Amino acid sequence: MAKQKADFPVSDIRRYLEPGPIVLVSSAWRGERNIMTMGWHTVMEFSPSLVGCVIASGNHSFDLVRHSRQCVINLPTTALTDIVVGIGNCSGADVDKFDKFGLTAQPSHKVKAPLITECHANFECRIKDDALVNRYNFFIFEVVKAHVAPRPKHPQTLHYTGDGVFTVSGKIVSRRNLFRPEML
């Protein structure tokens, strides 16, 4: 399941995150590492490449991210469905999730948090703005490096609805011909 990846422009990551997939956030701090599932995120800017997301303070990852000021946002496909669910249903306070789920912690290029080799894409992030962390657990990250597997072009991703149910991205619909060029 290890995927070969290519560098990808950080200003184009909306391609993968704007559709709203569940993602895996990997982090590390002082010898500890962890992975959490995250469904509450949004692209905020192309350049600098900004992503805002909620990491609830009850999560074991919250302190790792807050103290290290870094993380990697990893994009799993449906091939990892049961692992995604497993990661969301145990705590890094009790287990090392890389070991438990047989995932590869690969060194990142620009941050110390490891990226997850088995995911389709990896976005290395640094905290850009923590003004809303205390009030809403809302972190604004800058994506400083992106790695994406070139194929498949449209990976099947998981989109969480709550209650244990995901929708899967399916058919691709292009309406490129109906867009004004500056709106693409």
Distance from C-alpha of 154 to C-alpha of 71, rounded to nearest angstrom: 24
Subset of 31-90 contacting a second copy (CB under 8 A): 39-45, 50, 52-54, 78, 81-82, 85-86, 88-89
102 binds a second copy (CB under 8 A): no
Place of tokens 């991703």: 157
Query: How many other C-beta atoms lie within 10 A of the C-beta of residue 182?
Result: 5
93 binds a second copy (CB under 8 A): no
Distance from C-alpha of 122 to C-alpha of 115, rounded to nearest angstrom: 6
Buried b (16+ CB within 10 A) or exposed e, 18-54: eebbbbbbbbbbeebbbbbbbbebebbeeeebbbbbb
Size of the site for a second copy (CB under 8 A): 60
Which residue lies nearer to a second copy by CB, 27 or 59? 59
Q: Give the residue, chosen from 12, 95, 109, 151, that forms a contact with a second copy under the rule CB under 8 A.
A: 12
Distance from C-alpha of 72 to C-alpha of 113, rounded to nearest angstrom: 6
151 binds a second copy (CB under 8 A): no
174 binds a second copy (CB under 8 A): yes
117 binds a second copy (CB under 8 A): no
Binding site for a second copy (CB under 8 A): 12, 14-16, 18-21, 39-45, 50, 52-54, 78, 81-82, 85-86, 88-89, 129, 131-132, 135-136, 138, 140, 154, 157-180, 183-184
